[in-house]
């Protein structure tokens, strides 16, 4: 799947106004989930925006207690979103009711029926990814993982590159901490940008698709502008060299 370079993470957004604003500014990838309890909010923002639905990539995720009722739960998500289909449907985590031999074929049935465009996964480790390929005969359309300067799961990035699918990064701003990470701040100063923009530009340069959450017009616009930032090899190496063990959302 060809994903837009910048998407919007919506966890914690409970007002359709930022969704509408993001779309009007140019965001074309919107990411929600059942567990965020805001699919209806995202759907309302989409409905308000003066952009053709076909121009958007809309993603949601089945929570771990819904993975044994894929068809029914997906229908409920679509009703909340007010959409006939979603572009990406994720298995949120390979936990709970997840059984690859049951869950994944059920998702494939929805894809065949045109209810979803593509099957994606989130928080999958290498063994989970290989099992996905074994069951469905192809890699996922995307894998969404926590990825930021303080947590860099390079094994998942290597797998995505090997199998030619996009890696989507949630929490790309280190939970709001990038402004305190010295190498990121140094890169930002060299390019006269914010540390947040430096982190997003670093991810984009690696071929990763970040989905930062933002609500204000200013932050939404600034995150989008980071697409235009080109970092040098030394900048990338400085951030690559950070300690990578500060996972914000462990299992």
64 closest CA partner among 34, 38, 95: 95
Tell which residue, 209, 210, 206, 199, has the closest CA to residue 233: 206
Which of 36, 90, 98, 165 is labelled catalytic? 36
DSSP line for 57-72: EEEEEE-TTSTTSHHH
Residue 170 among the catalytic residues? no
Report the SS3 class of residue 78: helix
Q: What residues have CB less than 8 Å from 36, skipping those under 6 apart?
A: 10, 11, 12
Residue among 207, 215, 147 at smallest CA distance from 178:
147
Q: Of 48, 69, 75, whose CA–CA distance to 60 is shortest? A: 75
- Report CA-CA distances (Å) from 241 to 128, 153, 197: 27, 13, 18
Q: E strands along the chain, which residues?
A: 8-9, 29-31, 57-62, 86-91, 116-122, 143-146, 167-170, 209-210
Q: Could you say which DSSP state residue 242 is in?
A: S
Give the bridge partners for 78, in sequence order: none
Among residues 67, 73, 122, the alpha carbon closest in space to that of 100 is found at 67
Question: Which residues are tagged catalytic?
Answer: 36
């Amino acid at each position: 799947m060809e994903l837009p370079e910048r998407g919007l993470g919506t966890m914690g957004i409970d007002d359709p106004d930022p969704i509408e604003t993001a779309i009007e500014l140019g965001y074309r990838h919107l990411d929600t989930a059942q567990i965020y309890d805001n699919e209806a909010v995202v759907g309302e923002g989409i409905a308000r925006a003066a952009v053709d639905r076909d121009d958007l990539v809309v993603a949601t995720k089945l929570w771990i207690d819904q993975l044994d009722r894929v068809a029914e739960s997906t229908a409920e998500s679509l009703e909340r979103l007010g959409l006939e289909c979603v572009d990406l449907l994720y298995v949120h985590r390979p936990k709970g009711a997840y059984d690859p031999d049951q869950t994944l074929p059920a998702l494939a049935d929805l894809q065949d029926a045109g209810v979803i465009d593509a099957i994606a996964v989130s928080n999958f480790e290498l063994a989970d990814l290989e099992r996905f390929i074994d069951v469905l005969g192809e890699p996922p359309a995307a894998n969404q993982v926590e990825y930021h300067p303080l947590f860099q799961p390079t094994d998942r990035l290597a797998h995505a590159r090997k199998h030619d699918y996009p890696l989507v990064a949630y929490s790309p701003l280190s939970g709001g901490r990038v402004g305190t990470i010295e190498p990121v701040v140094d890169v930002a100063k060299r390019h006269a940008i914010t540390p947040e923009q430096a982190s997003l530009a670093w991810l984009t340069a690696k071929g990763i698709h970040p989905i930062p959450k933002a609500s204000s017009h200013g932050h939404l616009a600034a995150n989008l502008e980071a697409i235009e930032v080109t970092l040098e090899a030394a900048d990338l190496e400085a951030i690559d060299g950070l300690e990578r063990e500060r996972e914000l959302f462990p299992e």
